[in-house]
Amino acid sequence: MRIAAVASAFPRHYYRQEFIAEGLKKFWGDRLTAPQLIDRLHAHCGVEGRFLSLPADSYYSLATWGEANNAWIKCAEELGEQALCRALTSAGLSPKDVHAIFTVSVTGIASPSLDARLANRMGFSSCLKRIPIFGLGCVAGAAGIARAADYVRGYPHEVAALLAVELCTLTLQREDVSMANLISAGLFGDGAAAVIVAGAARDEPGPEILASRSVFYPGTEHIMGWDISEKGFQIVLSPQLPDLIEERLGGDVDAFLKDCGLAFRDVGRWILHTGGPRILEATARALKLQREALEVSWDVLRRVGNLSSASVLLVLEEVMRRRPPAGTYGLLAAMGPGFCSELVLLRW
């Protein structure tokens, strides 16, 4: 099983962090008791700019969740098509060569689901197997690769596609000025990424998928997720998250690598979800890594912010672009609502 291609796509609207901070102060207005807090939070997010699904001024007029979700559907179709077309072209494939598509998102909903809408737009086979996945959040990019690999393990002559579309800014809540929402408004951006996973019998180029592991942490559902109401998605983000990462991630990765006959020193590329500064720092401590080992994750965070499930795929795209030496092991990992982690072992 191999990753034949990865490609990303972004909306047309890109804004510097300082511009977004000023817009949010206007968006929340008198609800903010200390507007200067926005400037301080944004300055410490490690983000220089982000893509937005809509022109900045359009966010002031979104009055209902239905309007925001309609915008999600329109933009998700456009970005999903772009990301998939780029990934398929890079792999030398067409939509009709895809046998199954896994679609992940946690920032909008649609029925028919996004994969069905893209099947109509892109001309996928009428026998396409569609697996839409909602609710995994930031871990879904890594989990999606693992599930696509599970599929082609059973069908080694086939190709599976993974599409992650996250339009986080369309979940912004006007009445929520909690610290969790203020932090997320400084971190999260919009974009999409697609991955093409090919079965072993196809002998495609690209890194091998050697193994994967899912780890669920019981009793931690309060750590991260959404409170969903008639107003849409309201962020749940516990300050306990960095501590949980430090407590659990290192041991989970160590056990996974040992079961694969490897150790930390054997991993040449760390492909980790961007999270935010506190998350990346906690991850580095948990894995006993120097900052340079997470250079690509820090760079993706700086350029586009946290894109939830798509973020780890953007890191993977950049690592693949840099072409690690043959034989290099890579560990792709993300964590998300549940709370849980997903680990994928790669080899170039």
Average pLDDT over residues 90-99: 96
C-alpha closest to that of 339 among 246, 219, 256: 219
Are residues 182 and 274 located together in one domain of the fold? no
Percent of the chain scored above 70 by pLDDT? Answer: 100
pLDDT at 176: 83
pLDDT at 41: 86
Are residues 83 and 158 located together in one domain of the fold? yes
Average pLDDT over residues 105-121: 94
Are residues 121 and 222 located together in one domain of the fold? no
Q: How confident is the model at residue 288 (pLDDT cuts 50, 70, 90)?
A: very high
Cα(41)–Cα(57) distance, integer angstroms: 22
Q: Which two tokens stand for residue 259?
A: 């079961």
Last residue of a domain, one of 202, 223, 254: 202
For 102, list phi and psi in degrees, rounded to 5.
-105, 120
Q: What is the pLDDT of residues 19-52, one digit of tens each?
A: 999 999 898 888 888 888 888 888 888 999 999 9
Residue 137 contacts residue 308 (beta carbons within 8 Å): yes
Residue 250 contacts residue 287 (beta carbons within 8 Å): yes
What is the rounded average pLDDT for all residues in the chain? 94
Look up the domain containing 218 and give its range.
208-347
DSSP classification of residue 182? H
For 80, list phi and psi in degrees, rounded to 5.
-60, -45
Active site residues: 138
Average pLDDT over residues 245-253: 94
Are residues 232 and 293 located together in one domain of the fold? yes
Are residues 192 and 306 located together in one domain of the fold? no
Cα(137)–Cα(81) distance, integer angstroms: 21
Are residues 23 and 84 located together in one domain of the fold? yes
pLDDT at 334: 96
Buried b / exposed e over 130-160, threshold 16 CB at 10 Å, is bbbbeebbbbbbbbbbbbbbebbeeeeebbb
pLDDT at 146: 98
pLDDT at 249: 94
Q: What is the pLDDT of residues 126-168, one digit of tens each?
A: 999 999 999 999 999 999 999 999 999 999 999 999 999 999 9
Are residues 220 and 315 located together in one domain of the fold? yes
Q: What is the pLDDT of residues 50-84, one digit of tens each?
A: 999 999 999 999 989 999 999 999 999 999 999 99
Q: Residue 44: which residues within 8 A CB-CB, separation 6 or more?
A: 277
Residue 13: give its domain's CATH number.
3.40.47.10
Average pLDDT over residues 280-294: 94
* The total number of structural domains that make up the chain: 2
Last residue of a domain, one of 176, 202, 228: 202
Are residues 26 and 65 located together in one domain of the fold? yes
Are residues 44 and 171 located together in one domain of the fold? yes
Are residues 172 and 234 located together in one domain of the fold? no
Q: Given a cut of 90, is residue 273 above it in pLDDT?
A: yes
Are residues 336 and 279 located together in one domain of the fold? yes
Average pLDDT over residues 284-295: 94
What's the predicted TM-score (pTM) here? Answer: 0.94
Are residues 245 and 342 located together in one domain of the fold? yes
Per the model's pLDDT, the better-predicted residue between 193 and 230 turns out to be 193
Give the 3-state secondary structure of residue 100. Answer: strand
Last residue of a domain, one of 202, 221, 251: 202
Cα(342)–Cα(136) distance, integer angstroms: 11
